[in-house]
Amino acid sequence: MTIATSKAGKIRLYDSTATPYYLAFTLDPGDFSGPIGVPRQEEILKLDRGNYNASAHYIVTSDAALMAPVPISWSFTVTDAAKTTNILDWIAAMNDGLSTQVNSHTLETTETDSQRNGSVANAVFADSNKSTCIVEYFIDMVGTDVGWKYNGIWIPASECNVSEGEDGTMISISAQCYGTIDRLTAFTSGTDVEA
């Protein structure tokens, strides 16, 4: 038996291009955090005049809870390499409908690429400056590899923080997942946006 550690984890961001552009994270400290499934609607028990009997049953409440975003987060070390600029450009592209390029490649939003309720595509944001991407987190194991694909990720720049430290300056990313969350056994193929 092998225990997974942060050394085995990898993160990539993807856009919605036919052959998606991706940006692989390097020099991240191994602090990825995210749920392994989407939220569900609340269920309420209905009783017969306060009595639990054969007429008792559950009802499903509003889909608002099902469609609510769930948080994911990770961080990376700032370097003087182009990688840092490309990551910051990717975050900017998620927040400015006019700036959608990373390394001279135009990104396409993934807003309507998944159906969290299983039948209807996720809605387009009312704010046209907001765009989403896909985050794939993958653990390379000795046996069966495992990972998760987070669809419809919005990375609000206002919730990303830079912090200095003696062993390096870090940028912490706090994102919101509006789409589906699926299991992975390998990264999705695509085109490296840094190529």
pLDDT bucket at 141, cuts 50 / 70 / 90? confident
For residue 22, pLDDT over 90 is answered with yes
Q: Average pLDDT, whole number, for the chain?
A: 93
- Report domain extents, the chain: 6-35+74-170+180-192, 37-69
pLDDT bucket at 89, cuts 50 / 70 / 90? very high
Say what percent of the chain tops pLDDT 70: 96
Instruction: Select the more confidently predicted residue: 9 or 35.
Output: 35
Residues 90-110, mean pLDDT to the nearest whole number? 90
Contacts of 79 (CB under 8 A, 6+ apart): 27
For residue 155, pLDDT over 90 is answered with yes
Report pLDDT for 184. 93
For residue 160, pLDDT over 80 is answered with yes
pLDDT bucket at 113, cuts 50 / 70 / 90? very high
Residues 107-120, mean pLDDT to the nearest whole number? 95
- The model carries a pTM of 0.91
For residue 52, pLDDT over 70 is answered with yes
For residue 1, pLDDT over 70 is answered with no
Residues 159-176, mean pLDDT to the nearest whole number? 95
Report pLDDT for 95. 94
For residue 21, pLDDT over 90 is answered with yes
Q: What is the 3-state secondary structure (H, E, C) of the chain?
A: CCCCCHHHEEEEEECCCCCCEEEECCCCCCCCECCCCCCCCCEEEECECCECCCCCEEEECCCHHHHCCEEEEEEEECCCCHHHHHHHHHHHHCCCCCCCEECCEECCCCCCCCCCCCCCCCCCCCCCCCCCEEEEEEECCCCCCEEEEEEEEECCHHHCEEECCCCCCEEEEEEEECCCEEEECCCCCCEECCC
For residue 7, pLDDT over 80 is answered with no
